A and B are shown apart, each in its own frame.
Chain A
Amino acid sequence: MFQHDIPAPFLLGTLDMQRHHAEAIFDRAERMERLFSGPGAAELREELAGQTVVNLFYENSTRTRTSFEIAAKRLGAMVVNMDVATSSVEKGETLLDTAATLNAMQPDFLVIRHPYAGAPKLLARKVQASVINGGDGTHEHPTQALLDTYTMRKHLGKDLSNRLVVIAGDIRHSRVARSNIWLLTRLGARVRVVAPPTLLPGEMAQFGVELFYDMRKAVEGADVIMMLRLQRERMQGVFLPSQAEYFRYFGLSDTVLERAKPTALVMHPGPMNRGVEIETSVADLEGRSVIEEQVHMGVVTRMAIFSVLAEQRRAMSEAGSQELNA
């Protein structure tokens, strides 16, 4: 993706992502998956050879960071993990000062996760590297949405139009939900969101989704049920009375799953709270639960994202040098 005030190609969110951009990433992911498991693995290691990827994580996340790291390494890139806990961030350096410092080291990619919405865009305006949003506050998590959608396509076919996806859980605070809603609706899928009213802002309806408080009604006819993680600090207090009551009305149990299509997929971006939002028997249900597959597809999709952005960067620098020669 390009924007006039951002120097390099980027992946910041799915809200403004056009369909063909998403499809280019899916096509690339297919290629990655094919090459990776066959004799093409050596070829893949040339994709980002000599390039540097910096993982700048302001929030703890072993899973996502590792997924980005493995994806980049499989493409031959050098990966640096900025450990925020031991860096100057702890000494009070601002995001933009960190950006200036990193920019001076000329990395090719910056993967950022930040507790505040909009931080990746702020960073993207100030650096020459391609910025990939690894999750910003309660705003967007586009790589998760792309990998979720890619996983769905593998099972449901490339055309997701009129497929019914139910997203359940803490919609209000979920960047995964937002990015998925925007991407899936763009691809023609029907999306339902279900949560208690305290975790489901009414304005969500503007995104073209159906709102539900009743989990059992929401999952009727679903092709996909995507459960979201409920943060521990929300389990008691003003959002919800208790963990038990949450599971009773909003958790995914066998009896709830029965109401969906018999082939419905069960998804979860992880890490799961077993017994809070999802019953163990459902989470491990063979043939239905694709939660582990999501993790695998996460690496593949992130490889595809690096690859597509690298291609755009090459095209941009060639266009730039042509301009200079002209």
Chain B
Amino acid sequence: MTNTAAPAAIDLSERKTGPVYTRHVNEASILISDVRLIDPASGLDEIGGLLIDQGRIRDFGPHLHQQFVHAETVFSLKGLTLVPGMVDARVHLGEPGDDHRETIPETLTLAAYGGVTSVAGLPNTSPALDQVPNLQFAVRRAREAKVAKLYILGAATKDLLGETLTEIGGLTEAGAVGLSNGNVAITRPDVMLRLLAYAKAFDQRLHHFPQEPSLSRGSMNKGAIATQLGLSSSSRAAEILMVQRDMQLAKEAGAPLHLGPLTCADSLDLVRRAKAQGLDITCSTAPQYFCLNELEIGDYRTFAKLAPPLRAESDRQAVIEAIADGTVDIIVSDHCPQDVDAKRVPFEQAAFGMVGLETLLPLSLTLHHARGLPIQQVLRCLTSRPAEILGLNAGRLQIGNAADLAILDLDAPVRLSNTLLRGKNKNSPLEGFPAQGKPVMTFVDGRLLFDHR
């Protein structure tokens, strides 16, 4: 009998020089007690305590109480909830090249405000993160910032042109936690197929943005509203076609593949069926696609100009359904700051994207509060599942792991407002959106980064 199992990936464990964040550890011991502990990875949901020592989780559980445990600092957080720090697998970086949009330290500070302790940055910077030195620059900026942790999705093709493969081995050694072509799909099927195959050698998953460019050059979703507003539009078919093609190529290459953010019923249905067949396909969506629809554009509101575009109400419902039945693996913010000059122009000329790191949690929690999804399921999409897809030892409560934690007030009513956003660019279409639940404290490596109790 022949062995049909695929060969193992190249072992890079001794070569990796990737992000190491242990340099900024709070060495003091901290006890967080009387808190509701939720760990989606293990299903834990109990009142108890968590002890941090040397920046790591020393112990946690219902047995940890301040009467019995000594710690230098004690936070008694009755009524609040402790969860693993969130992992956001899709964030646009303003550095290198576009500091006016947002610097890396600024992005990571916003992440901390949002309860996000690990960020996967996209490579579509200028220059693109398609070479080891560029990637190292970004990681160094992040280390200096000493806030949330930055990981990089290395560029899948040179200059993101979709023509030639990057040095995927080198990028992996430098710490890339996945591959991405930014906000441009790789259109050539032959390049895509080779890329998927080659990346297997380094155990890298491609995070692809599945929008066929020739059908997605418009400013908003194709349909009645675009016709009325006289705006150019992008068809759902752009997404459906690309998802279908990508999955076929992943199947042929025998490679894992991540698709997202997905926004419409039919493309989610394709993923649903591929998963049922046992393919290693994962996918994401973003809160804007389950909280808003294309009507948000109203009178040419450029803050609602997103890529992929906001879709119809029926698609929004389908996205919620796909999260509920597990078709959608993870929720990402797709954080994309744009400065005023890029948005205060006629709609067709405006840049795509919205800021999302600070609103990721409150918007995601609407799935629990308003749609009745189990809290564990919603949080899993924000913590352990993205960590698994990125191969990070994060997103779960585990003794010995870095103490990257978020403390939440799960029930606090919040009316989102752009005046409350802390970044220098506030391009969010969610002004006035009612939500429930917010992050109140964030710890990274045991350091308390912000405290809004």
Q: Is the beta-carbon distance between B300 and A121 smaller than 8 angstroms?
A: yes
- Chain A residues positioned under 8 Å from B345 (CB to CB): 94-96, 122
Q: Which of A95, A122, A178, A206 contacts B230 (CB 8 A)?
A: A178
Q: How far is the CB of A71 from chain B (nearest CB, A)?
A: 25
Q: How far is the CB of B153 from chain A (nearest CB, A)?
A: 33
Q: Is the beta-carbon distance between B227 and A122 smaller than 8 angstroms?
A: no
Q: Is the beta-carbon distance between A116 and B227 smaller than 8 angstroms?
A: no
Q: Is the beta-carbon distance between B300 and A137 smaller than 8 angstroms?
A: no
- Chain B residues positioned under 8 Å from A152 (CB to CB): none
Q: Is the beta-carbon distance between A118 and B349 smaller than 8 angstroms?
A: no
Count chain A CB atoms within 10 A of each CB in B228, B231, B232, B345 and give the residue with the most. Answer: B228
Closest to A175 in B: B230
B372 within 8 A of A: no
Q: How far is the CB of B348 from chain A (nearest CB, A)?
A: 4
Q: Is the beta-carbon distance between A94 and B341 smaller than 8 angstroms?
A: yes
Please classify the interface of chain A as helix (H, G, I), strand (E, B), loop, or mixed, using the class held by over half of its residues.
Answer: mixed
Q: How far is the CB of B235 from chain A (nearest CB, A)?
A: 11
A41 within 8 A of B: no
Q: Bits for B415-428, please: 1 = Cβ < 8 Å to A, else 0.
A: 00000000000000
Q: Is the beta-carbon distance between B344 and A96 smaller than 8 angstroms?
A: yes
CA distance A96 to B343 in the complex (A): 11
CA distance A95 to B343 in the complex (A): 12
CA distance A95 to B344 in the complex (A): 9
- Chain A residues positioned under 8 Å from B229 (CB to CB): 117-118, 139
Instruction: Give the residues from 334 to 348 in chain B that come closer than 8 angstroms, CB to CB, to chain A.
Output: 341, 344-348
- Chain B residues positioned under 8 Å from A122 (CB to CB): 300, 345-346
B224 within 8 A of A: yes
CA distance A139 to B349 in the complex (A): 15
Q: Is the beta-carbon distance between A139 and B230 smaller than 8 angstroms?
A: yes
CA distance A259 to B68 in the complex (A): 96
CA distance A54 to B58 in the complex (A): 72
Knowing A94-B341, A94-B345, A206-B224, the reply to whether A140 touches B230 (Cβ < 8 A) is yes
- Chain B residues positioned under 8 Å from A117 (CB to CB): 229-231, 300, 346-348
Q: Is the beta-carbon distance between B344 and A137 smaller than 8 angstroms?
A: no
Q: Is the beta-carbon distance between A118 and B299 smaller than 8 angstroms?
A: yes
Closest to A120 in B: B346
- Chain A residues positioned under 8 Å from B348 (CB to CB): 115-118, 137
CA distance A128 to B40 in the complex (A): 56
A190 within 8 A of B: no
A15 within 8 A of B: yes
B79 within 8 A of A: no
Q: Is the beta-carbon distance between B230 and A136 smaller than 8 angstroms?
A: yes
- Chain A residues positioned under 8 Å from B230 (CB to CB): 117, 136-140, 175, 178
B189 within 8 A of A: no
CA distance A121 to B232 in the complex (A): 18
Q: Is the beta-carbon distance between A203 and B227 smaller than 8 angstroms?
A: yes
Q: How far is the CB of A115 from chain B (nearest CB, A)?
A: 8
Q: How far is the CB of A122 from chain B (nearest CB, A)?
A: 6
A204 within 8 A of B: yes
- Chain B residues positioned under 8 Å from A229 (CB to CB): none
B223 within 8 A of A: yes
Q: Which of B223, B228, B344, B349 contacts A116 (CB 8 A)?
A: B349
Q: Bits for A185-225, please: 1 = Cβ < 8 Å to B, else 0.
A: 00000000000000001011011000000000000000000
- Chain B residues positioned under 8 Å from A114 (CB to CB): 346
- Chain A residues positioned under 8 Å from B223 (CB to CB): 203
- Chain A residues positioned under 8 Å from B224 (CB to CB): 203, 206
Closest to B232 in A: A138
Count chain B CB atoms within 10 A of each CB in A114, A115, A122 and give the residue with the most. Answer: A122
A119 within 8 A of B: yes
CA distance A137 to B227 in the complex (A): 12
CA distance A140 to B347 in the complex (A): 15
- Chain B residues positioned under 8 Å from A115 (CB to CB): 348
- Chain A residues positioned under 8 Å from B347 (CB to CB): 116-118
Q: How far is the CB of B435 from chain A (nearest CB, A)?
A: 26
Q: Is the beta-carbon distance between A118 and B227 smaller than 8 angstroms?
A: no
Q: Is the beta-carbon distance between A121 and B299 smaller than 8 angstroms?
A: yes
CA distance A175 to B228 in the complex (A): 10
Q: How far is the CB of B296 from chain A (nearest CB, A)?
A: 15
CA distance A207 to B228 in the complex (A): 9
CA distance A206 to B225 in the complex (A): 10
- Chain A residues positioned under 8 Å from B231 (CB to CB): 117-118, 137-139
Closest to A179 in B: B230
Q: How far is the CB of B409 from chain A (nearest CB, A)?
A: 35
- Chain B residues positioned under 8 Å from A207 (CB to CB): 228
- Chain A residues positioned under 8 Å from B341 (CB to CB): 94
Closest to B348 in A: A116
CA distance A122 to B333 in the complex (A): 29
Q: Bits for A1-40, please: 1 = Cβ < 8 Å to B, else 0.
A: 0000000000000010000000000000000000000000
Q: Which of A95, A138, A140, A201 contacts B346 (CB 8 A)?
A: A95
Q: How far is the CB of B300 from chain A (nearest CB, A)?
A: 3
Closest to A205 in B: B224
Q: Give residues in A with beta carbon < 8 Å to B.
A: 15, 94-96, 114-119, 121-122, 136-140, 175, 178, 201, 203-204, 206-207
Q: Give residues in B with beta carbon < 8 Å to A.
A: 223-224, 226-232, 299-300, 341, 344-349
Extra inter-chain contacts (18) besides given A96-B345, A137-B231, CB under 8 Å: A115-B348, A116-B348, A117-B347, A117-B348, A118-B299, A121-B299, A122-B300, A136-B230, A137-B230, A137-B348, A139-B231, A178-B228, A178-B230, A201-B227, A203-B226, A203-B227, A203-B228, A204-B227
Which 4 pairs between the two chains have the least Cβ-Cβ distance?
Answer: A139-B230, A118-B300, A116-B346, A117-B230
Instruction: Give 17 CB contacts A-B under 8 Å.
Output: A94-B341, A94-B344, A96-B345, A114-B346, A115-B348, A117-B229, A117-B230, A118-B299, A118-B300, A121-B299, A122-B300, A178-B228, A178-B230, A203-B224, A203-B227, A206-B228, A207-B228
